[in-house]
Structure 1
């Protein structure tokens, strides 16, 4: 094979997709994963005659690559990655690689919170408008796999900071940055600026006729916006003040102005509730306006969107107690939004805990004080949570499984209460991932 040798590290959705695309483009491909591969992924690799290994990294089969495609889950400080870098070899992400082989327009969304919701909402809108559109990145099917076999005109891509880290020449046509709050600092030497720089990579390579959509109410975004030279059209969204071009609130009306086009819609007609979701809807509305979608399509999409699994997802009401699955809240800020959107005083039984990524719980203090009557910890080590809230919440208990957490919450609840699973932590101590945690929670609620 004349194209060179590509080694893919990590055999999940992203890695397998990248391996298949590389094979289709005539590269000599090898995939290596330190963990075990899912059977379905092994079948795909076998089907395309791609050699792979699991539960080990054989260095002589890896260090002879022309280029390495690294899955976003593998940290930069992994010993093998350090070795590859010391050799001066190029490491890229699946998104960077796939971007070389498509001429589709890309709408790329990043941010500490709201990415999946906003990405899904924009995709929903473009589908409704009848556009030929794919959904990928940190959500759904691998972008690379779709580039190999589909012929979409547009892609809506959710991009995490880890994916952006491995992107160099890739360019968004429309880049959306929702917000920046401390997250994943364990992967960024506990330096906030490293994480901020990573998020701002979404703006790299933007040209004059491309658009950068961002939240002008977000302090961190605004502080850093001034430091970088952007050639793109800047389209801010704000709930605090009116903007010339972009989106803002005119009383209770969401208003978009962009290149002579205008869009308006009452906030109470948005299907997604809560202040943070108004921001997500604003970002989507600007995107639709930039793409010159009809106003009635934008309006309908914003009013009939069903939301995302594991993100403030109502599960069931049992004996007057409402159970809500917000398992996707893997950081403090997501949980802040969840608690902020809860109505009523002292009626929330909050299920929290997991792998803490350097959390500062003090930012939740006033909301917890006002809304939470009991805390049910769901994690291996809950000492930090006890320490943060012991003087505020009379009842804090520890559980080790979703079933236990649901049962204990149910016992603590009364009619009109809400049991909110919003962990503010990663899930890897007791679960495979946040989806697994959310599903086990929902099953446990259904089994009450």
Structure 2
């Protein structure tokens, strides 16, 4: 396809004309990758970031002769764009995005743009919780089986950069709802929907149905040749499916019931049956990832592996030796018989629920940050049964106190990670676990969840 003369807009209609201007809003990994791919295909490229651009990306844009601006948006130029590639972090309600849409300028995601030039097959994984772990596990299984596979989306190098510079047969992509909102013609060869639980509702008019519909965009454009993998036990997924027309071959997974096709649990063994003669089974005690939530993640990855007809021995080996991603239930040390677990990536209630569900000792829980309208009620039973003290970390802790004052005897406020870790250490006893699983965004005291997790690990080392 001639990328300059025939660009597809969000309605699927071609945009005619030469000298097409692609504007990219946001100059981090996603935006820089999109700029590299757009330049490769002959577009006039302009990158605009309302904040400061990191030196790494700035030097890369300069070395390639790609025009950019930082700390502001030149609206007049941006509004002249043929098409805009938007960072997932910029909301639809941003004034500049509204102006672009009012003018009829297509606004798309980096994934959508890269998909036009991608020749590899794609495995796209979304869900409110577990998508990073499942994406990494799936990539690990495929790579260990010898497939020529890339990893992108919310993880590592951007999809667009890799499409421009690499040559893979498969990609495993972690896809957020924000990315899906700006994807229109992209098609997943294998789509995985892990679960749908309340998250980012401020971006969806505080309506769960809007958020769920965003997640189901993972299905768009799929055909009978494609595959859709989903959780049979997740009520929001099952409810949302009533509003969908699924064309792809569907494989559910469940730990609550036996299924004719898909994955299920029987006598503490994962069974995968895709309707063929070749079955897969593995004891959950042999999984590298423990906890109920990780059984779901392993089932989803296992179905992908069997769809690709990988050998059972290879799948078992990979599921047994996988090491989880940083900041997700990461062991940060053991001091005086007290385990310290870094789950800083838990930025919503459900992630913290999964973390607590996997704990087998008494817990001192470090909780708090930027509250996105959290409903803490779903944590109350777990907190009552497993948590001996809560250490609040952040500027706004009133809702945490209100939610748990009847469940735990000790709730302490702290205003730095060092203070939170020191107090948690003194509140814990030998055999306990200090768990950082904040259930909130990190932006009040930290740059991001990685910074929060790194500070936690540093504070543990300093004890």
Normalising by structure 1, what TM-score?
0.98
* Aligned equivalent of 2:339, options 300, 319, 322: 322
Alignment RMSD, CA only? 0.9
TM superposition shift of 1:432: 1.1
Per-residue deviation at 1:250?
1.5
Q: Secondary structure at the match of 2:406?
A: coil
* Residue aligning to 1:268: 285
Per the TM alignment, residue 226 of structure 1 is displaced from its structure 2 partner at its CA by 2.2
CA distance in 2, matches of 1:231, 1:159: 20
**Which residue in 2 is equivalent to 1:116?**
132
Q: Which residue of 1 aligns with 2:416?
A: 401
Aligned with 1:389 (options 397, 404, 412): 404
Give 1:3 shift.
4.9
User: Pairwise mapping of residues 23-422 of structure 1 onto structure 2 (< 5 A)?
Assistant: 23-260=39-276, 261-344=278-361, 347-422=362-437
Question: Structure 1 stretches of 5 or more lacking a match?
Answer: none
Give 2:7's aligned residue: none
What is the alpha-carbon distance in structure 1 between the residues aligned to residue 153 and residue 129 of structure 2?
Answer: 15
SS of corresponding position for 1:26:
coil
Q: How far did 1:443 drift? A: 0.8
TM-score calculated relative to the size of structure 2: 0.95
Unaligned runs of 5+ in 2: 5-17
CA distance in 2, matches of 1:374, 1:358: 23
Aligned length: 446
Shift of 1:172: 0.3
CA distance in 1, matches of 2:350, 2:19: 45
Q: After superposition, give the CA deviation of every residue in 1:346-373 in whole Å (9 maximum; x if it has no partner).
A: x211000011111000110011011111
Distance 1:247 1:120 in 2: 19
Structure 2 counterpart of 1:435, from 450, 456, 461: 450
Shift of 1:259: 4.0
Q: Distance in 2 between matches of 1:87 and 1:73?
A: 22
Q: Deviations over 1:234-258 (max 9, x none)?
A: 1000001111111001111100011
1:171-209 superposed Cα distances (whole Å, 9 cap, x missing partner): 000000000000000111111111000000001111101
Give the whole-Å Cα distance in 2 for the aligned partners of 1:295 and 1:215.
22
In structure 1, the residue matched to 2:13 is none
Q: Deviations over 1:249-306 (max 9, x none)?
A: 1111100011403111111101100000000000010000000111111111110001
Summarize deviations over 1:137-174 as a string: whole Å, max 9, x none: 01111000000000100000000000000000000000
Cα distance in structure 2, aligned partners of 1:8 and 1:37? 13
1:39-93 per-residue CA deviation (whole Å, 9 max, x = no partner) reads: 1010111111111111101101200000000000111111111111111110000
**1 CA distance for matches of 2:290 and 2:417?**
26
SS in 2 for 1:56: coil
Instruction: Find the residue that maps to 1:212 and give its secondary structure.
Output: strand
Distance 2:317 2:83 in 1: 45
Q: Which moved more, 1:398-407 or 1:164-173?
A: 398-407
